[in-house]
């Protein structure tokens, strides 16, 4: 039987695993309940399993039984963490934990990767190389991938992997079962702009005797938007959104301080450097012009997720071969979200693939997106997701 058929045969147990994880979602780097479920599922498979020290990760290595002397490996990554969202799906397997939800579909990734470990384990004898299964906590803002790299996941099989792949489900946009990737930038770098403007408060009727932090901060927010259109190439774009702005207490008092916070997204290292530099300069120069002081921070978060061109094409072609060309598309544009799989792709060539998981009774154009309290991901993609992971590893190691 082929990998797809074998995957279809374990669809039920993958759905069960996914539902169990979904019911008990956990946030951040410590996911003990999720880790236990993964370890339980992998128990009995011919894997070298290790767990993280600073986080509840699981690294499993499958040693191929056929080698030509020079060992090669492929890394497959699935993230496992949830979000601080109160679930509003009404699903029978909805979260039991108040205010925590698997709203980004990482429960599916965990189940798919566990399924791939099972599928590949049954093919261990014929595998001409090794496979590293990277079960990762803390994708949602905790740099879990970076921490796992620090703990040696890329060296788990010996030499560095020749390729790394990650799947990510989407509850919107793509029809169920569609795989999408692209060469080059796939997801944005996401950084944080954090500014406190310190002026001199006073009576609101006498602004000339005060140093108004609000007008200065407003000028900064507007100037940052002008910077986006005047300082950056439209074909290497950036996004700046100031999403939090706080100052003052009442109508007749000029406050001492104003503070704002926002996100800065970019798609190349060069644009990111310019964005960091220009943002700080504009804020400081405007503070000077307004006679106030600014405490401006540009905080580097996740880097750009860059797919290797050859690996993206390899993955696209493999998916087209396994599932049919209609289910494998090349994305025209990158996405504005960000991923810490970017840290893996900085060191190992590979590709990140989006997978449509919109339930059949929803319209992909209007279905609630990932991170929505109403986001629903269809179990129907679990078997094909597991098969996709397994096929990418098999084919990359040289078995078609
Ligand atoms: Zn997410
Ligand atoms: Zn995610």
Q: What are phi and psi of 242, to 5 degrees?
A: -90, 115
Tokens of 80: 């496992």
Q: How many whole angstroms from 244 Cα to the centroid of ligand 2?
A: 23
CA–CA dist 28, 343 (Å, integer): 17
pLDDT at 66: 84
* Res. 70: pLDDT tops 90: no
* Res. 134: pLDDT tops 90: yes
Q: How many whole angstroms from 318 Cα to the centroid of ligand 2?
A: 23
pLDDT at 188: 98
CA–CA dist 126, 64 (Å, integer): 7
Q: How many whole angstroms from 143 Cα to the centroid of ligand 2?
A: 12
Whether residue 52 contacts residue 149, with contact meaning beta carbons closer than 8 Å, is answered with no
Q: How many whole angstroms from 370 Cα to the centroid of ligand 1?
A: 6
pLDDT at 71: 81
pLDDT at 100: 98
pLDDT digits (tens, 9 = 90+) for 275-329: 999 999 999 999 999 999 999 999 999 999 999 999 999 999 999 999 999 999 9
Q: How many whole angstroms from 366 Cα to the centroid of ligand 2?
A: 19
The arithmetic mean of pLDDT across residues 144-152, rounded, is 98
* Res. 75: pLDDT tops 70: yes
What's the full length of the chain, in residues?
A: 400
* Res. 240: pLDDT tops 80: yes
Q: How many whole angstroms from 23 Cα to the centroid of ligand 2?
A: 17
Note the ligand closest to the C-alpha atom of 369.
1
| Residues lying with their CB under 5 A of ligand 2, a single-atom ion | 104
Going by C-alpha positions, the residue among 34, 167, 8 that lies closest to residue 97 is 34
Q: How many whole angstroms from 139 Cα to the centroid of ligand 2?
A: 7
Indicate the burial class of 134 (C-beta count within 10 angstroms; 0-12, 13-18, 19 or more). Answer: buried
* Res. 72: pLDDT tops 90: yes
Q: How many whole angstroms from 224 Cα to the centroid of ligand 2?
A: 28
Longest dimension (CA), the chain: 82
pLDDT digits (tens, 9 = 90+) for 191-223: 999 999 999 999 999 999 999 999 999 999 999
Which is more confident, 137 or 70? 137
pLDDT at 400: 57
* Res. 243: pLDDT tops 90: yes
| Residues lying with their CB under 5 A of ligand 1, a single-atom ion | 104
Q: What are phi and psi of 374, to 5 degrees?
A: -105, 5
* Res. 69: pLDDT tops 70: no
The secondary structure of the chain in percent helix, strand, coil, rounded to multiples of 5, reads 35, 25, 40
CA–CA dist 18, 69 (Å, integer): 38
Per-position DSSP letters for 25-78, written without gaps between them:
---TT--HHHHHHHHHHHTTSS-EEEE-SSS--EEEEEPPS---SS--EEEEEE
CA–CA dist 333, 353 (Å, integer): 13
Note the ligand closest to the C-alpha atom of 340.
2
pLDDT at 68: 64
Which CA distances in Å does 99 have to 26, 96, 162? Answer: 10, 9, 40
Q: How many whole angstroms from 104 Cα to the centroid of ligand 2?
A: 5
Note the ligand closest to the C-alpha atom of 145.
2
pTM value surpassing 0.85: yes
> Any bridge partners for residue 190, and if so which?
265, 302
* Res. 22: pLDDT tops 70: yes
Note the ligand closest to the C-alpha atom of 354.
2
Q: How many whole angstroms from 278 Cα to the centroid of ligand 2?
A: 30
CA–CA dist 109, 381 (Å, integer): 10
CA–CA dist 376, 105 (Å, integer): 8
Q: How many whole angstroms from 142 Cα to the centroid of ligand 2?
A: 12
Q: How many whole angstroms from 166 Cα to the centroid of ligand 2?
A: 11
Q: What are phi and psi of 72, to 5 degrees?
A: -125, 155
Indicate the burial class of 196 (C-beta count within 10 angstroms; 0-12, 13-18, 19 or more). Answer: middle
pLDDT at 200: 98
Q: How many whole angstroms from 371 Cα to the centroid of ligand 1?
A: 6
């Amino acid at each position: 039987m082929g990998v797809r058929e074998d995957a279809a045969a374990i669809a039920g147990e993958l759905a069960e695993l996914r539902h169990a994880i979904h019911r008990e979602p956990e946030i951040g780097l410590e996911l003990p309940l999720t880790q236990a479920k993964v370890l339980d599922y992998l128990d009995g498979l011919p894997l070298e399993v290790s767990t993280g020290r600073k986080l509840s990760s699981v690294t499993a290595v499958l040693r191929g039984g056929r080698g030509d002397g020079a060992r090669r490996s492929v890394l497959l990554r699935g993230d496992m963490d949830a979000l601080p969202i109160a679930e509003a799906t009404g699903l029978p397997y909805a979260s039991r934990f108040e205010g925590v939800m698997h709203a980004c579909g990482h429960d599916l990734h965990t189940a798919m990767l566990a399924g791939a470990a099972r599928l590949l384990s049954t093919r261990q004898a014929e595998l001409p190389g090794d496979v590293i299964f990277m079960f990762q906590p803390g994708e949602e803002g905790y740099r879990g991938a970076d921490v796992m790299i620090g703990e040696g996941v890329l060296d788990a099989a010996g030499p560095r992997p020749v390729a790394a792949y990650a799947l990510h489900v989407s509850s919107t946009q793509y029809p169920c079962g569609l795989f999408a990737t692209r060469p080059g930038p796939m997801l944005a770098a996401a950084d944080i702009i954090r500014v406190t403007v310190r002026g001199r408060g006073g009576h609101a009727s006498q602004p000339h005797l005060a140093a108004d932090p609000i007008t200065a901060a407003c000028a900064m927010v507007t100037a940052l938007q002008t910077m986006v259109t005047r300082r950056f190439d439209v074909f290497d774009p950036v996004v700046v959104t100031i999403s939090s702005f706080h100052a003052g207490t009442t109508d007749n008092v000029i406050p001492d301080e104003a503070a704002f916070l926002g996100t800065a997204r970019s798609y190349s290292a060069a644009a990111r450097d310019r964005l960091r530099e220009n943002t700080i300069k504009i804020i400081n120069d405007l503070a000077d012009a307004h006679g106030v002081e600014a405490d401006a921070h540009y905080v580097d978060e996740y880097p750009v997720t860059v797919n290797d061109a050859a690996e993206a094409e390899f993955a696209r072609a493999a998916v087209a071969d396994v599932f049919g060309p209609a289910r494998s598309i090349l994305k025209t544009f990158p996405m504005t979200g960000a991923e810490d799989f970017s840290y893996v792709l900085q060191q190992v060539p590979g590709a990140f693939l989006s997978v449509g998981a919109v339930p059949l009774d929803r319209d992909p154009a209007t279905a609630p997106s990932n991170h929505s309290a109403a986001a629903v991901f269809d179990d129907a993609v679990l078997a094909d997701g597991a098969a996709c992971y397994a096929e990418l590893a098999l084919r990359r190691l040289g078995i078609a």
